[in-house]
Amino acid sequence: MYSKEKATQLKQAFWTAFGQYLKPQLSADGLRTNWVNYKTGIKHLYFKMEADKKSAFIAIEMNHPDADIQQLMFDQFMELKNVLNAQLDEEWDWQLHTIDEYNKTVSRIIKRLPDVSVFKQEDWPALISFFKPRIIALDEFWSVAQYSFELFK
């Protein structure tokens, strides 16, 4: 078991390493991108990557406080589901109005990687191999799809 401080340091070290690994990778639009803290440009819409002691996930997360607007965003992604799946080359789980770790209602399109720990450096290659192609695919999808979400700005 790690102290809270040591756990924070290990997580920070992983995300720093991941960011450095992806730093040379330009976005689909040819721009430098902060892959760890990806900006969609739409309030309450995030591409979120998370890793803890048991698993990891990458998600498109909609956390608008108005559940109806959150549903509209989710519905807009549903309209683009075939495009998204083609870009990701896999199916993700679609969760409308689920509860997050902070007890808030969010909607997510999510892919999980079980049985890995950000606290084990030997798992870092698996985590990087999980996150890298998916965040790049999300960026390529977003390069085209973002215009369908302009009304949420």
DSSP state of 122: G
| Cβ density class 85-103: b for 16+ within 10 Å, e for less | eebbeeebeebbeeeeeee
- Hey, which residues does 58 pair with through a beta bridge? 49, 111
State the chain's mean pLDDT as an integer.
96
pTM equals 0.94
* pLDDT at residue 62 tops 90: yes
| pLDDT tens per residue, range 77-133 | 999 999 999 999 999 999 999 999 899 999 999 999 999 999 999 999 999 999 999
Answer whether 100's CB lies under 8 Å from 62's CB: no
Per-residue pLDDT, 1: 64
Per-residue pLDDT, 134: 98
